Structures are given as structure tokens and as C-alpha cells.
Structure 1
């Protein structure tokens, strides 16, 4: 299942581009990034450089992060969203020197859609060259010319791979990992915050290497990737701990998972392309619903569905817990002012970045999509493991590692006071409303509701069978009785006396008209 950031319109933007070379013989990617939702055995040309790759991700208002690729011959530069929530490369422009596959594919995102022919072209991605890369040429008009999406999910989540199985339908990373055997099969992503006064950086993306200063990520718990056994597509998803979300009041937000067998371990898909994380409605209510002045409403062009508007001066601190590691969310991310909108009085409109999950984003395989507002608070490493199709390496199961970034609560508080309150700390004035004001909504279903109908029915099968047998026997008996009864005479025997009451009833007229003979003279 594929998903999109709030709107394709959100990333119709421009950015300056310059190539930076990182130390340690690594590559710098530059560009921006943005979201989609959720593409025969041939010899491969040698990739340009067999070394790790790094890249700067340029940030547009905390909503979009892009990088640059080139496609075709002669090479044409295209700005693409780096998106862990999908697997396919899609572009909204004609590519010179392309080859048409003769096949088409559709990708439906939470908002928007990509549809069009599958084409092949030479791809260059900061030092790596893939001579024949499959991509979807969007013909819907949703993607702007010169822009696109590069999915970083596994091959098993690829729409193109479903249409063109085998090497020709491989994803970009599958091609890179298979042919660049000296590069470890993992990627890392670090997203920046545009209005952070103490940590100014747009973001970084690496293939096969860890950023300097963040080496501790390799010692973080390895979160097993929850493998999807349905046709919904594989995503980078893992389970939170039991009661693994701590609300603004410091108490766990208790919910049950929608996912079969997950119980109270909510399943999260990690999606660098989703600007607004999608969470269960009851979780969004618990985070924002008790803030005085907060409202759940529809904002035109924002979010694609109901979203909380929240007073901009409300400092809300929430935490996610995965593998026993607490990941605090910066209050500038919990309540976002990145929309650049004002109300009728000229006041900035702030929103609760953790949005009630859109119906189009819901899945039976995960409970939430943890997008940019979450990932700005954790450096993420995704190890593809045996998700690299056709790899000759001895690989282990895929996993995710998360290194908390917002670990200094005092600094985060100071950032909030500086950015939202003009340096005047009034956060102590916020008093949450009682929990009784929250609506009675729990879209994390009870565990029993996660069972299929047949599973729910199984304990009662003996009684159902016994009851059905008894009912069947009764029905057969009734039919036999009716058949036998239909053979009995339906007339009154002659020897039986006439009905009592007419002939002997005194002063009663006969039941029929009496015959009176008449003479005819």
C-alpha cells in the first residue's frame, strides 16, 4: 500500500542546487525530498563508484525533502522525493533516450495517484549508474515536470516488480545493492528541522554508511521488520512496545492494535515521505483533544481530512517507545506552524502534526505511519537483509534501528520558547482539560476484533454443528409427517352422525331454503 504527503501541491517548489563532496570519499546528494504515499535476466553494467554514498537533503518548511537524480541519454536532472514508504521510481517528465516496456502501472497514494507507462532509462544517482532502470512516467498530471519520487522500500513492495518480475523490474536500491557488492545493504536517513535555532541542517541520506557523529545507531536495538503476508505490499514497519506512546500528561496512551495478533503492540510503518504522521484517531484525541482551544476540523488543502488546529503556544511533549528505547518528540514537531497560514485576525494557524489516520491510508497490516514529524527526532537505519532480491550475499533478516535525537529536554523547551513565545516562557499556563472531554473513540480495535470471521466462529462450531443436526432431523421429520398426513381421507365417514344442532334445534330455521311444492293450474 502506498501513501502520499498532504498533497502533491505541497512540493511544487524550487530549490538551489549545488554538489558537495563529503569527507571519507563519500558522495553528497543534494536536492529536496517529498512524499508519494505508497515498479529477464540481463547483465548489469558496472556502477560508477563502489563506495558508500551520502547526501544532503534540502528541507522546504519541514514538509518536503528532495534529492537530485539524472535519467536518460543525454542525462536529464530530476528532483525526487526520497521516500521510504514506497519502492518505485516515478517521474512527471519526458525522459530522453527512454525505452518503453509496453506495460503500464498505477500507484494510488493517500492523496493523489501516479499512473502511466513503465519505461526504462539510464539512471545516475550520485556516483552510481544503473544502465536500465525501470520507472513509471506519470500521465495523470499530479507530478510536476522535472520532479518525481524515488522509493526506498524493498522489491517486494514494488508495483513495477509486480508487473515486470525479475531483474528488469528491480527497484533503484535493489539494482544498486546487487551490482555494488562492496556496499552494505542498508540506508540511513536524518531529517532536519527548518526552524530549529540550535541544530541547523536540512538532512542527510546515506547508502551503506553511517553519518559521522551518529555511530551509536549501530548499537541500538534491532527492530525486526514485520513482514506482510498479504498483497498490500511490504513496508518498513516494526512494532512499538506495549503502551508505547506517552501522551502530554506523561501517561501511556492505551490502545489495541488493528493488526491481527499484535495485541497492544501498535505497528508503525516508517515513511520519510509522509509530512504528517498518521495515527489512530484515539491517539490524536489523547494528544491534542485536551488542549484548551484545540479543534478537530477540515482545513482546505491541508491533510486531506480532519486535523487538529492547536494554539501555537501549546507546548506538548510526547514520546514513543520502541525496543525499550524512548524517542521524545520535539514540541516544535508535535504542534507545527509550517503551513504558513493565518486566520481572519492574522494569527498563525498551527496544527497537530500527528493527524487522525486518513481512511485511504489505513491498512490491516499497520496502525500508523510515522512520517517526517517523527523522523526529525530519530536517526533511522534500515537494513534490507534478505529483502535484496537475487543477492548472492549471506544476509540476515531485515531490521530497523532508531537513534533518538531530541534527548535534551531543556534544550527542546528552550527552542520552543524562543520560536513560539518570543523568548517569554508562559508554558506553565497550559492546563490540560480532564480526560472526560475526549470523545469515546477507540479505533485501535480490541484484540478479539482482529480475528477473522472464521476464527471467531471456530469455538462455537461444535454447538453450531449439533444444533444444525437437530434442526435438520426436525425438518426431515416434519416433512415425513406432512407427507403421511396428506394420504388420509379428507371426507366425513357416512356412519358418523350429522352435525348436532340444526335438525334438533328448536325454533331455528333450517340451514337451507325449504322446498314448498306449488300447483300449477
Structure 2
């Protein structure tokens, strides 16, 4: 299942994007990323499964776009590290036909169309005959809109359709034709309502943003890889430290992974996806973060699905830990103000880290979207994920924390509290609900992962047992006494029945026990 989140659509109709600003620097090029604040009363559905199967009336969400030129025509494309294909809505002059069709299926909706080739200009790089999907414009995908997938090439539907390098993803094509360019991508996302930092972001290919050079000294996080037969599900994902999520009280939230092959059950697998507005997290994590906030309530909203509603004046803090490095989350990102009300008509903010539902998958536990990524400068090294190159290094991810907790607190005071620092409220008592791992969950997930092997071995043993019984029966028939007259040893009826063996475990859980649905896209 693809992971990208489609968070634009009608927003593009509202206003035009700012022109992209190109800036060449030594060793690579970068492109300004423009954020789009969706207007009140306009709906958008998310690519990838973020807010459930329904749309959200949004007045403050941000989608991140870059301008690209395809066949000499400019398109505004959502940058998406959760997918791998390029598509645009509208005709591209002088595009070459391939005679093939392809598409991408999202949690809500899908796009499809003919695969064409045209010259692409992205971050200053020109790629000849870049493959893309041409989508017929409609109310959902207006003329001039598009999406550029920046994920691993293994997940590209176009590449699979064409079956050759000509169908490779954009970044793969750039790295293949510019062998001196370092094989990495970096992204910095801005925050719209941040009173101290600028809003727009940047995306670079083979270049480090000025002032963020320390990214290269951060720990290199290994990209966890899915099984070969599931290569289409490969994403930019890595492990969060064991007990590496700190709640609003600063204490670790104990959780266990659903990824069976993870050696440490307490390390969650996280996917980094610039296409998701709201991070998707296990229900227990969301409960532990928001459940202790006075006045917070979990609600199944018709406009967003299951989500925590929190009083907007309550500052909620949380921290993620990767390889010992703490990534504090800005309180303006832990709860978002979309100018919505609860059933009683009271204004509420929504818990941005939403319980995961339809986006759940056995290959990861968490999808860290925009609300997380606004707190880091992220570098993704493609390593040997670049198709057809001689690079043998493993891909990795580096994160540089960009949120200062002290400054973030003051930002919250200025934006949500009108400048008056009133934090006299206290967290509610800790509850075991949602923060305690299910008993024997590690044992259960291992059983589920190895179930095909277990079933095969069990079947073989049953077959051996049947054959052995037949052999014994045949040997008895060769005795002087007919087998039906052989002496038997019977237990008297009045004797008590033998004690049965206690079962060590219940029935094997279904996959639905581990898959919860939520928002939109891919």
C-alpha cells in the first residue's frame, strides 16, 4: 500500500503559489518550497491515510509544493517522500507517448493516465525524457497541479510499467546522470503560524542548506528494509529508540511494535512522509499524549474520523528519540487549530498525532508527517536504492532537531494565549489505558510472522504421524493374532478422566487486530 498524503486539491483554486526560487550552490542545487494554507470551508482529502476516509474542513493546514517545469510548462507539485511517481494534471507540450498506462491508488481516490516522456527541470537539474503520468484535469486535480514522488524507486508504478531505466523516478534519474552529485535529498519545512521563524521551506538535491551544516554530524539512522516480495512497500523508514517517545510529563510511553521482524519489540518503525499532514501513531501513543490533558476528549468526527479534541489553550509537549538524539515537538504542532468546534459548540484544537487506522501496515508502526517534520531538518541518503548504479553503500537518514523548547513555549504563549503565560493547570493522573503494552504482544507478533513456517512444519509432522500409524497397523496385521483380536488395555469407566494439557495460547490473531484505518491518500 502506498503512503503519500494528498493534502492539496481545492486549496490550489484558492490562490496561486509563489514562484519557485532557484539557488545554485557548490555541490548541488536547492529549490524553495512554498506552503499553502487552505482557506476556511474548503475541503481536502489526504493522500495516504491521514484523517480517515472523510475530508476535513480546514483553515490552517499546510501543504508543501515546489514548482517544476515539464515540457516547458510550469506545474506546482506536492513534494512527497512517501511515494515515487511524478504526475501532473494537464497537457504537456511535445510529450512523447509510451503506449503504456499507469496509476497510483490512494486511500481515498486514485489517479491514472497515459505514461509520457518530457524534459523536466527540478531544483535546477534538467532530466531528458522523464517519465510521468498525465492526468486529465478535474475538480479534484485542477489544471497545473501535480505531485513529485521522492521515495525509493522500488515503489514506482511507472518504473514497473515501463520496466526500464527510462521509467525511473525523478531523483534516480538525477543521480544517474549526475554521478558527481552526492546521492542525498534534504528537506526543511516551515511553520505557517510560527511568530519567530519564516514560513517557506526548502528542498535540496545533493546540497546542505546554509546554517544547517551540523546535519552531517548527526547519527546515521539505518533505513529498515521490507522483505523482497514486498519491495513496493519500501519507504524511508527507521527505528525509534526503545521507549523513545516521551509524553507530556517527560516520561517514556511504553509501546511495542507490530513489525514482526524487529529484533527489539520496544522499538517502533517510523516512516518519514512529507505528504502527510497529521502523523499517524498507535492508539496507545495518542491516548498517552492527549488523554491526560484536562478537557481533552476522543471523538469520532464526521469531518476527520477518530481524533483527540483538546482545549486550544492547553500546551501539549512530546519528544521522539532516535539513536539517543531527542527531537522535541513544537506545541503548535502537537495540537492544530483548524477553527473547529466540538458537539457542544466549543472551539477545540485537534491532536495532530492521530490514532492510525487505514494507513496501518505490518511494515511500520508510525507515519511521521508534516507535524513532525516541521521540527527537523531531514537528510535522506539514497545509497544503493538508486536503480542501476554501482553505489554499494546502505541508505540512511539523518535528523537535525530545529525546535528549541524554550522558544517553542513562548511561541505557544504568543499564538494561543495572547501573550499571557498561564500554565497553572496540571496533567490528569496517569492511566494504564493505552500506555501499557498488550500481554505477550511480542510472542503474538512473532507467531504471526512465522505462521506459514509453523503451519508447514505442523503439516509435515502430521503427515509423518499418519504414515507411522499405518506402518504400525500393518506390522500388527503380520502377528499370529489377528489385529482385531489383539489384547487391549482399557481404562475402567469409573476411573476419573486424565487431566488435559493447558493451552499455552489462544487462537492466532487476525491481521485486523493490528491494522487500524485513518485519513486519505495513496
Q: Does the pair score TM above 0.5?
A: yes
Matches within 5 A, 1:155-174: 155-174=153-172
Which of 424-433 and 123-132 deviates more? 424-433
Q: Secondary structure at the match of 1:428?
A: coil
One of 398, 402, 414 as aligned partner of 2:410: 414
Q: CA deviation at 1:470?
A: 6.8
1:218-254, Cα deviation, whole Å (9 max, x unpaired): 0001001112223343211111111111111222111
1:271 maps to 273
1:241-270, Cα deviation, whole Å (9 max, x unpaired): 111111112221111111122122110110
1:351 maps to 350
Q: CA deviation at 1:32?
A: 4.4
1:137-167, Cα deviation, whole Å (9 max, x unpaired): 2359442221111001121111111111111
- Quick check: 1:429 aligned with 2:425? yes
Q: For the residues of structure 2 that align with 1:462 and 1:104, how far apart are their CA atoms?
A: 45
Shift in alpha-carbon separation, 1:473–1:288, aligned structure 2, 3 A? farther
Q: Secondary structure at the match of 1:417?
A: helix
Q: Secondary structure at the match of 1:349?
A: strand
Task: Answer whether contact 1:281 1:442 (CA < 8 A) is retained.
Answer: no
1:100-151, Cα deviation, whole Å (9 max, x unpaired): 2222223122333222222222212242222211111235944222111100
- Quick check: 1:129 aligned with 2:132? no
Q: For the residues of structure 1 that align with 2:475 and 2:136, how far apart are their CA atoms?
A: 67
Shift in alpha-carbon separation, 1:16–1:459, aligned structure 2, 3 A? closer
Matches within 5 A, 1:71-86: 71-72=70-71, 75-86=72-83
Shift in alpha-carbon separation, 1:36–1:101, aligned structure 2, 3 A? farther
Task: Answer whether contact 1:4 1:111 (CA < 8 A) is retained.
Answer: no
Unmatched 5+ residue regions in structure 1? Answer: 39-59, 486-521
Q: CA deviation at 1:365?
A: 1.0
- Quick check: 1:299 aligned with 2:301? yes
1:446 maps to 442
Matches within 5 A, 1:166-245: 166-229=164-227, 230-231=229-230, 232-245=232-245
Matches within 5 A, 1:444-483: 445-450=441-446, 451-456=449-454, 468=466
Task: Answer whether contact 1:115 1:140 (CA < 8 A) is retained.
Answer: no
Shift in alpha-carbon separation, 1:85–1:27, aligned structure 2, 3 A? closer
Shift in alpha-carbon separation, 1:456–1:179, aligned structure 2, 3 A? same
1:358-392, Cα deviation, whole Å (9 max, x unpaired): 22x11111111101011111110000111111224
Provide the aligned length of Structure 1 versus Structure 2.
Answer: 456
Shift in alpha-carbon separation, 1:156–1:352, aligned structure 2, 3 A? same
Q: For the residues of structure 1 that align with 2:10 and 2:453, how far apart are their CA atoms?
A: 44
Task: Answer whether contact 1:189 1:205 (CA < 8 A) is retained.
Answer: yes
Q: For the residues of structure 1 that align with 2:78 and 2:440, how far apart are their CA atoms?
A: 31
Task: Answer whether contact 1:116 1:140 (CA < 8 A) is retained.
Answer: no
- Quick check: 1:340 aligned with 2:336? no
1:319 maps to 319
Q: Secondary structure at the match of 1:426?
A: coil
Q: For the residues of structure 2 that align with 1:344 and 1:283, how far apart are their CA atoms?
A: 24
Q: CA deviation at 1:324?
A: 1.2
Task: Answer whether contact 2:96 2:117 (CA < 8 A) is retained.
Answer: yes
Shift in alpha-carbon separation, 1:167–1:405, aligned structure 2, 3 A? same
Q: CA deviation at 1:484?
A: 9.3
TM-score w.r.t. the length of structure 1 is 0.79
Shift in alpha-carbon separation, 1:476–1:296, aligned structure 2, 3 A? farther
Q: For the residues of structure 2 that align with 1:10 and 1:433, how far apart are their CA atoms?
A: 43
Q: Secondary structure at the match of 1:284?
A: helix
1:517 maps to none
Q: CA deviation at 1:476?
A: 8.3
Which of 18-27 and 97-106 deviates more? 18-27
One of 280, 285, 290 as aligned partner of 1:283: 285
Task: Answer whether contact 1:37 1:86 (CA < 8 A) is retained.
Answer: no
2:19 maps to 18
Q: For the residues of structure 1 that align with 2:440 and 2:270, how far apart are their CA atoms?
A: 13
Task: Answer whether contact 2:215 2:399 (CA < 8 A) is retained.
Answer: yes
One of 100, 108, 113 as aligned partner of 1:103: 100
When the two chains are superposed, the root-mean-square deviation of aligned CA atoms in Å is: 3.2
1:515 maps to none
One of 403, 423, 429 as aligned partner of 2:400: 403
Q: For the residues of structure 2 that align with 1:131 and 1:443, how far apart are their CA atoms?
A: 55
Shift in alpha-carbon separation, 1:390–1:345, aligned structure 2, 3 A? same
Task: Answer whether contact 1:4 1:110 (CA < 8 A) is retained.
Answer: no
1:330 maps to 330
Unmatched 5+ residue regions in structure 2? Answer: 37-43, 50-58, 485-522
Which of 96-105 and 413-422 deviates more? 96-105
- Quick check: 1:3 aligned with 2:14? no
1:491 maps to none
Which of 128-137 and 368-377 deviates more? 128-137
Q: Secondary structure at the match of 2:348?
A: coil
Q: Secondary structure at the match of 1:396?
A: coil
One of 29, 32, 36 as aligned partner of 1:29: 32
Mark the structure with the bigger radius of gyration.
1
TM-score w.r.t. the length of structure 2 is 0.79
Q: CA deviation at 1:467?
A: 5.8
